[in-house]
């Protein structure tokens, strides 16, 4: 069925919609599209992204269709355009007023927020602009790594100096205040760097130690997302550098004990934060470096479907009804990334389970003897098995699922 005049129409997307750069969800390349008016986000495949970015009110559907045919070797029919326009209208993504032909069409990129309108965070972002340059940021990160290595080499003497502080009430109170201040600075750093790159900080609470960054998945460059996610750990590292300097110059046994103890606590805070497990910052940094959405769930899905993909073709057809991804072929890059993270995830589970078994076994050994480790091992094994066997959330069958779970929280 044809619709006279349809290809001559010049629909336009709303100007406040923002697109992400190409990302991966499992084996699929996707783009994120967000409606900033109501906060709804959609995932769209590359072909739909190609079409939507060209709905600028200047080009007609016929012209967009010609570009699509040149790119993908297939011409779209009227029925496809009708479905697409109805979907956009249903989700209120089309602009009501026609585009001004004198203005250049937009490309759907996000607009950068003005740091001057971001209050205290914007003020600090302007003052620390020199520190937030990628080169300076990387230099600070290298210095922090060097300090961590030095602490590791001198761990024994530092622990001997710090031990009295963990039994002294005054030192414990001071240590708690310093640790909380470092954690608050961690969240504040996320907010400052996010504002510096034009993202919106929706909420920051230095008491409950939370920072929610809006739209940072839609920043145009991967490096900006990595810097936002790693800002907290780098800020903690700066605190460690200052603590190390103070430890060298401040006299007195109390200062030595307190600063040595805080240095050890700060090192533990920093190292825990950079572990690549959700919801820690190291996991977010790795996800951005790999351009993967929901890296942990997708790696578990890859691992769960791996045996089905390794079956012979005839047997794979018999289990194809078991799930949408049963026989799905993953691109090499996605398979390597998801497979390595799945292996790391299994290794982390095994390490934590072993520590729990050893610790509980040591507690029960006086009463149970040699059987002390059997009961904890059984409990941990059943817990892990039950968690692994729980029903998986199926991959969304439509192309407009909810936004990824790792979008906002820092």
pLDDT band at 323 (very low <50, low <70, confident <90, very high): very low
Question: What is the value of pTM for the model shown?
Answer: 0.83
Per-residue pLDDT tens over the stretch 214-226:
888 999 999 999 9
pLDDT digits (tens, 9 = 90+) for 274-311: 999 988 999 999 999 999 999 999 998 998 888 777 76
Element (H, E) at 41: strand 41-44
Q: Tokens for 127, please give them.
A: 């003052």
CB 26 within 8 A of CB 226: no
Asked if residue 242 lies in contact with residue 207, where contact means CB atoms within 8 angstroms, the answer is no
* Helix residue spans in 91-166 (DSSP H): 119-127, 134-153, 155-162
Cβ(355)–Cβ(309) below 8 Å: no
pLDDT confidence of residue 322 = 47
Give percent of the chain above pLDDT 90: 48
Residue 303 CA, distance from chain mean position: 20
Q: Which residue has the higher pLDDT, 282 or 252?
A: 282
Residues 6+ apart with CB under 8 A from 166: 172, 175, 261
For the stretch 124-136, pLDDT in tens is 889 988 888 878 8
Give the whole-angstrom CA distance, residue 380 versus residue 361: 12
Q: Is the model's pLDDT at 166 over the cut of 50?
A: yes
* pLDDT tier, 397 (very low <50, low <70, confident <90, very high otherwise): very low
pLDDT value for 336: 93
Indicate the domain borders of the chain.
6-90, 115-289, 296-310+323-389
Asked whether the beta carbons of 368 and 361 are under 8 A apart, the reply is no
Closest by Cα among 258, 117, 287, 304 to 200: 117
Task: Give the phi and the psi of residue 36 in degrees, each rounded to 5.
Answer: -70, -15
Q: Mean pLDDT across the stretch 155-171?
A: 91
Q: Where are the alpha helices (DSSP H) in 311-331?
A: 313-318
Q: 66: Cβ–Cβ under 8 A, 6 or more apart, which residues?
A: none
% of the chain residues with pLDDT over 70: 83
Contacts 24+ apart (CB under 8 A), 379-384: 380/353, 380/356, 381/353, 384/349, 384/353
Encode pLDDT of 32-79 as tens digits.
Answer: 999 988 888 999 999 999 999 999 999 999 999 999 999 999 988 888
- Which residue bears the tokens 């406040």? 16
Find tokens 């590292």 and name the residue: 237
Contact 231, 190 (CB under 8 A): yes
Place of tokens 């942990």: 296
């Amino acid at each position: 069925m044809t619709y006279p005049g349809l290809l001559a129409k010049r629909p336009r997307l709303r100007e406040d919609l923002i697109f992400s750069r190409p990302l991966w969800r499992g084996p699929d390349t996707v783009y994120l599209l967000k409606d900033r008016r109501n906060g709804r986000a959609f995932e769209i495949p590359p072909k739909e992204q190609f079409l939507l970015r060209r709905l600028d009110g200047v080009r007609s559907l016929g012209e967009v269709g010609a570009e699509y045919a040149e790119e993908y070797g297939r011409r779209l029919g009227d029925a496809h355009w009708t479905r697409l326009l109805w979907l956009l209208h249903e989700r209120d993504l089309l602009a009501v007023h026609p585009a001004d032909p004198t203005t250049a069409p937009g490309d759907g990129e996000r607009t950068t927020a003005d740091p001057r309108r971001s209050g205290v965070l914007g003020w600090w972002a302007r003052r620390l602009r020199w520190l937030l340059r990628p080169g300076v940021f990387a230099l600070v990160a290298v210095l922090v790594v060097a300090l961590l290595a030095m602490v590791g080499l001198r761990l024994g003497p530092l622990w001997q100096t710090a031990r009295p502080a963990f039994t002294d009430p005054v030192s414990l109170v001071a240590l708690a205040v310093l640790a909380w201040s470092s954690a608050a600075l961690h969240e504040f750093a996320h907010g400052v760097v996010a504002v510096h790159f034009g993202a919106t900080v929706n909420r920051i609470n230095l008491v409950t130690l939370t920072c929610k960054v809006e739209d940072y998945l839609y920043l145009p460059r991967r490096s900006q997302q990595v810097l936002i996610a790693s800002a907290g750990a780098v800020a903690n590292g700066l605190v460690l550098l200052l603590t190390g300097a103070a430890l060298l110059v401040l006299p007195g046994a109390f200062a030595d004990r307190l600063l040595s103890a805080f240095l050890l606590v700060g090192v533990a805070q920093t190292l825990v934060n950079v572990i690549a497990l959700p919801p820690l910052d190291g996991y977010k940094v790795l996800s951005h470096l790999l351009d993967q959405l929901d890296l942990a769930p997708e790696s578990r899905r890859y691992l769960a479907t791996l045996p089905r993909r390794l079956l012979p073709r005839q047997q794979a057809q018999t289990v194809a009804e078991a799930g949408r991804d049963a026989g799905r072929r993953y691109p090499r890059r996605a398979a390597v990334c998801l497979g390595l993270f799945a292996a790391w995830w299994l290794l982390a589970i095994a390490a934590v389970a072993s520590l729990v078994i050893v610790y509980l076994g040591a507690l029960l050994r006086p009463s149970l003897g040699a059987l002390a480790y059997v009961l904890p091992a059984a409990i941990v094994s059943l817990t892990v098995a039950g968690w692994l066997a729980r029903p998986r959330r199926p991959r969304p069958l439509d192309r407009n699922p909810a936004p990824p779970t790792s979008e906002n929280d820092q």
